[in-house]
Homo-oligomer: A and B are copies of this chain.
Amino acid sequence: MLEKLLITGAGGGLGALLRGNLSDVAKTVRLSDIVDIGSPGAKEEVISCDLSDRDAVKALVEGCDGILHLGGVSVEKSFDTILPANIVGVYNLYEAARAAGMPRILFASSNHTIGYYTQDTHLTADVPLRPDGLYGVSKCFGEAIANLYHDKFGQETAIVRIGSCFAEPRDHRMLSTWMSPSDFVSMIECVFRVPRLGCPVIWGVSDNDGRWWDNSAAAYLGWRPRDNSEAYRRKIDAEQARPAPDAPDAVYQGGKFTAEPIHS
């Protein structure tokens, strides 16, 4: 069990889903975001931090023996928005971790690193990257940094290409990409529990019938997702029209992100 787990981006959607559910992972949780995230609860600390501020990140990481890096921009934005948060910020985080004894990191990467693969393609963890926007490119950068620090210094990272982590799948595409919060929690437990992590790529997806991604290479982590989006198909079918065959949500794994312009 970790002494203190840092969660960056704790004020975002993922942070909210996880907060309070990691008591089996760490004795204390240090929550951080650039936005206000309220007061700490029991066994919580709260520290406000801008990831692009190198010294602030260094202070933030110090004293933690595990990091859940959810911070930064998580949707398609302009390059000027993504650069400080997702590129400079990731570099800062890894330098800070190196200075702090290299606590294990779970890096929230994204399916948008491979979003231009079509939905009829079955992906293993070692396929070439095909990002679907500048956000996806920034996650490719982060994955490269994670590999570099592993090869050069031994820093361990779980690179988690998250599909769609919400309480429930919200549209037809998410029937393939959904990861339940409960499955994410059990994955986090595996990542911080395994004696030797290395630097694996893990597809962040539940045991959905229509999944696109193959986690065989990461089976050694012992993570077995239990939820299945199929339970929500009827509800989604009732509420929404299925996407047209040529809609981005039906063609590409990255869905609507592939239809985003480059934001200026």
Measured CB to CB, the residues of A under 8 A from B are 79, 83, 87-88, 91, 95, 98, 116, 118-122, 126-134, 136-137, 140-141, 143-145, 147-148, 151-152, 172, 175-176, 193-196, 198, 200, 208-212, 214, 216-217, 219-224, 230, 242-247, 249-251, 258, 262
Contact = CB atoms under 8 A, between A and B. Distances in A.
Given A88-B83, A140-B144, A172-B195, A119 B152 contact: no
Contact of A223 (B126, B137, B209): B209
A195 B243 contact: yes
B119 A131 contact: no
Contacts of A116: 147, 151-152
Contact of A245 (B144, B195, B217, B246): B195
A91 B120 contact: no
Nearest to A261: B152
A222 B210 contact: yes
Contacts of A98: 262
Nearest to A87: B87
A141 to B, nearest CB: 5
9 contacts: A126-B128, A130-B147, A136-B148, A175-B222, A176-B220, A210-B219, A210-B221, A210-B222, A212-B219
Given A126-B127, A131-B148, A196-B251, 12 more contacts: A118-B198, A122-B220, A129-B143, A130-B151, A132-B152, A133-B152, A137-B148, A140-B144, A176-B222, A193-B242, A195-B249, A212-B220
A242 B87 contact: no
Contacts of A172: 195
Residue among A137, A141, A176 with most chain B CB within 10 A:
A137
Residue among A95, A136, A151, A223 with most chain B CB within 10 A:
A151
Nearest to A198: B120
A148 B137 CA distance: 8
A245 B193 CA distance: 11
Contacts of A230: 222
A242 B151 CA distance: 24
B212 A214 contact: no
